[in-house]
Amino acid sequence: MRTFADRHEAGRALAMELRRYAGAPDALVLGLPRGGVVVAYEVASALGLPLDVFSVRKLGVPGQEELALGAIAPGGVVVLNEGIVRESGIDRSTIDAIIADEARELERRERALRGERPALDVRGRAVILVDDGLATGATMRSAAAALRKMGPARLVVAVPVGAPETCQEFRAGADEVVCAAMPEPFFGVGMWYDDFAQTSDQEVQRLLAAAWKGPAGSP
């Protein structure tokens, strides 16, 4: 496949794969920070849907932070991987301390990106959860698990490009998985973008503000 020029072009391409949701009254788009918000902005704009950011923090095993005990999301949502908890032998007080630390960081990140604006209510709605790509899928997996606990009617995981095996794995945890491109060999998300520069908080803030001012930004 050809590469995407940048995340904006990738978002427009992804929107074409999701056009059946255009204007759906019960649908909304959530972008994972930071790069996923850029892609999600284009999806929401093209489909005329509300946009929000969905921040999630992985709860890493001490000393093996890449191994996830679980995740937390806004609104006090906590998801624990009980198998990892048992295998790691971590006691509840340590887990509670990890949750408290990550909750403070999550709150700080939420304030930085959304200010005082409350999150959109996902209960009973079709939620399109967007990132700029799926490699291992660890971040998206945590986000999807946390979002499930918030009661959406339908969960759609959507990315412009993803590793074929990861996209297949997600079909068990989401109602729908949309990977616009699944190149083989995959190599990594950044390989499929001409410009994959890191997205700044300021860019996320600007896009969210623009979406919230327009008709697609209303709840």
Beta strands in 32-165 (DSSP E): 51-53, 57-61, 64-73, 77-80, 126-130, 154-161
- With tokens 């890493």, the residue in question is 60
Q: Do both 126 and 93 map to the same domain?
A: no
83 shares a domain with 39: no
Let me know: does 45 contact 216? Beta carbons within 8 Å.
Answer: yes
What is the domain count for the chain?
A: 2
Is residue 194 within 8 Å of residue 6, measured between CB atoms?
yes
- pLDDT tens for 107-146 read 998 889 988 888 999 999 999 999 999 998 888 988 998 8
**Pair (191, 92) in one structural domain:** no
pLDDT in tens, the chain (219 residues): 789 999 999 999 999 999 999 999 999 999 999 999 999 999 999 999 999 999 988 888 888 876 778 888 887 888 888 888 888 899 999 999 999 999 999 999 888 998 888 899 999 999 999 999 999 888 898 899 889 989 999 999 999 999 999 999 998 889 999 999 999 999 899 999 999 999 999 999 999 999 988 654 444
Q: What is the CATH number of the domain that holds 159?
A: 3.40.50.2020
| The residue to which tokens 């887990």 are assigned | 95
**DSSP label at 134?**
B
Say whether both 38 and 134 belong to one domain.
yes
Q: Which domain holds residue 81?
A: 57-114
Same-domain status, 37 and 22: yes
CATH number at residue 77: 3.30.1310.20
User: 95 and 139 share a domain?
Assistant: no
- Tell whether 65 is covered by a domain: yes
Q: For residues 173 and 146, is the Cβ–Cβ distance under 8 A? A: no
CB 69 within 8 A of CB 41: no
Q: What's the confidence (pLDDT) of residue 115?
A: 86
Instruction: Give the global pTM.
Output: 0.89
Q: Give CA–CA dist 94/177, Å, rounded.
A: 35
Does a structural domain hold residue 154?
yes
Go through 1-36 and write b for each residue having 16 or more CB atoms within 10 A of its CB, e for each that does not. eebbebbbbbbbbbbeebeebeeeeebbbbbbbbbb
